[in-house]
Amino acid sequence: MSTAAPVSPRSDQGVHPWWQALPFAAVFLVFFVIPLGLVLMVSFWDFNEYELLPAFTWRNYVSMWEGCGRLNEYGDFCVTLSTYLSTLKFALLSWALTLLLGFALAYFLAFHVHSVGMQTLLFVLCTVPFWTSNVIRMIAWVPLLGRNGLLNQGLAAAGLTRQPLEWLLFSDFSVLLAYVHLYTMFMIVPIFNSMMRIDRSLLEAARDAGASAWQTLWNVIVPLSRTGILIGSIFIITIVMGDFVTVGVMGGQQIASIGKMIQVQTSYLQFPLAAANAVVLLLTVLMIVWGLTRVVDIRKEL
């Protein structure tokens, strides 16, 4: 409790805090901790077509990576490996794009917009679309990017293309576009929050010491926005690594992802396989997050 919310004075009066936290803690015990434990447990279970067989086996983990030691006859990786690589690629690309875009927009809001009222207004402007369902926001791209969509119509009318571009929709491009569209706000908010805590006199000091705008940006603002950048990055990476909805809808159900693989396995009632997959996914994500959080204590920064 070293860095907890401020402890109010004379706090031992009234209801014991344990009772107050109990319902909250119970929810996480029943709907988070136990389920995760079960995933771990079942990932070592055997199964047949009808039921789960509670006996310890490595089978699920082994069969997951079957044939992954070499390339197959078409020169591709095995299914699991190529799915993980594809998901990692999406995570990396969407992370880079949302970070660049989110940082630039947060910078604009924090340092170029001076009145708090204007900042609030612009923020609300960016949040309003979030009140719409994500699926709706995804399919909203169809009339724009589709074969007969607005963009293809425009390109054809301008004489730039003879045939409609097929790669605009239900492709890697559209999946990535949707990630940027849906999740850039998750980058903007924490980075903006960090930037607003930067003491403005530091910027003046940098300028007085002769730093150019770029030098101030790179040597003062970026390091001091580190926390926001990390929180945003963790959000984006964990969302994209586990995603199966966006990749499904925007990929026309044709693009593989780890989340989708898990979903398909559970729909065939292959729970132990799905659980083993989930454990590997979790370890991958935890490794990335661990790498990121080593630099920062999230709790201090609230």
Partner 1 sequence: MAATYREPRAPGFWPLALLFGAFVLFLYGPMLTIFVLSFQGPEGGLTFPMRGWSLHWYRQLANGLGVVDIGAAFQRSLALGAVVMGLTVLLSLLASLAFRKRLRGGNLLFYVTIASLIMPSIVVSLGIGLQFRLLDSGIKQLAAAWGLHDWLETFTTSLGLFSSALGAHLSWTLPFGLLIMFAVFNRFNPAYEEAARDLGASPWQTFRHVVLPLIAPSAIGVGMFGFTLSWDEIARTSQAIGDVNTLPLELQGLTTTVTTPAIYALGTVTTVVSFAVMALAIGATRALKRRQGGSR
Residues numbered 215-254 forming contacts with partner 1, rule: CB under 8 A: 234-235, 238-239, 241-245, 248-249, 253
Hey, which residues does 52 pair with through a beta bridge? 47
Tokens of 165: 């571009």
43 to 62, contacts with partner 1 by CB under 8 A? none
User: Of 92, 135, 202, 222, which lies in the binding site for partner 1, with binding defined by CB under 8 A?
Assistant: 135
213 touches partner 1 (CB under 8 A): yes
CA distance linking residue 135 with residue 250, whole number of Å:
9
CB nearer partner 1, residue 71 or residue 287: 287
The SS3 call for residue 64 is helix
User: Of 114, 162, 294, 300, which lies in the binding site for partner 1, with binding defined by CB under 8 A?
Assistant: 114
Binding string, 59-98, against partner 1, x = CB under 8 A? ----------------------------------------
Min dist CB 282 to partner 1, Å, is 6
Best CA proximity match to 251, nearest among 132, 142, 165? 142
291 touches partner 1 (CB under 8 A): no
DSSP tally for the chain: helices H, then strands E = 16, 2
Contact at 8 Å (CB) between 257 and 247? yes
CB nearer partner 1, residue 15 or residue 160: 15
User: Of 77, 111, 123, 173, which lies in the binding site for partner 1, with binding defined by CB under 8 A?
Assistant: 111
Contact at 8 Å (CB) between 99 and 233? yes
The SS3 call for residue 146 is coil
146 to 185, contacts with partner 1 by CB under 8 A? 146, 148-150, 153, 181, 184
Binding string, 251-280, against partner 1, x = CB under 8 A? --x-----x--xx--x----x--xx--x--
CA distance linking residue 273 with residue 189, whole number of Å:
37
CB nearer partner 1, residue 70 or residue 300: 300
CA distance linking residue 292 with residue 233, whole number of Å:
8
User: Of 63, 120, 132, 219, which lies in the binding site for partner 1, with binding defined by CB under 8 A?
Assistant: 132
CB nearer partner 1, residue 66 or residue 199: 199
Best CA proximity match to 285, nearest among 16, 36, 34, 18? 36
Q: Which residue has the tokens 């047949």?
A: 48
Min dist CB 57 to partner 1, Å, is 17
Of 55-63, 68-76, 106-114, 221-229, the window that binds partner 1 (rule: CB under 8 A) is: 106-114
Contact at 8 Å (CB) between 109 and 192? yes
Q: How far apart are the first and last CA of the chain?
A: 14
CA distance linking residue 72 with residue 67, whole number of Å:
8
Min dist CB 269 to partner 1, Å, is 9
Binding string, 2-41, against partner 1, x = CB under 8 A? x-xxxxxxxxxxxx-xxxxx-xxx-xx-xxxxxxxxxx--
Contact at 8 Å (CB) between 253 and 267? no
Of 68-76, 77-85, 102-110, 218-226, the window that binds partner 1 (rule: CB under 8 A) is: 102-110
Min dist CB 255 to partner 1, Å, is 14
Q: Which amino acid is at 283?
A: L
Tokens of 147: 């074969």
